[in-house]
Amino acid sequence: MLGVDVRRRLDDALGWLLLRAAVVLHRVVASREATRRLRQRRNEALRRAHRRGVPVEVLAAETGLTQSWVRYVIRDPEKAAVEEAA
């Protein structure tokens, strides 16, 4: 079993890695369907990074999204997906 410090470092590293993935997916846009899929993946990566301890402020700053939008994506992913598609 992993120690607490090792687990925390692993969570931090995975959180930052997921944040990087979210940033890349956010910036790469192709067609409408590809955009929808990329946003879906970006939002999932944002939620996972947040669960791993990356603060909303950092997520918003790194992706260029507003803090309120990042909170919305984390809190209610289905509604956020519908609003982004519109």
Residue type, 31: S
pLDDT, tens digit, 9 for 90 and up, residues 1-53: 668 888 888 889 999 999 998 888 777 655 667 878 888 999 999 999 999 99
What's the pTM value of the predicted model, to 2 decimals? Answer: 0.64
pLDDT confidence tier of residue 66, bands split at 50, 70 and 90: very high
Which residues make Cβ contacts (< 8 Å) with residue 67, sequence separation at least 6? 56, 57, 60
Angle at CA 62, nearest 5°, toward 57 and 63?
A: 100
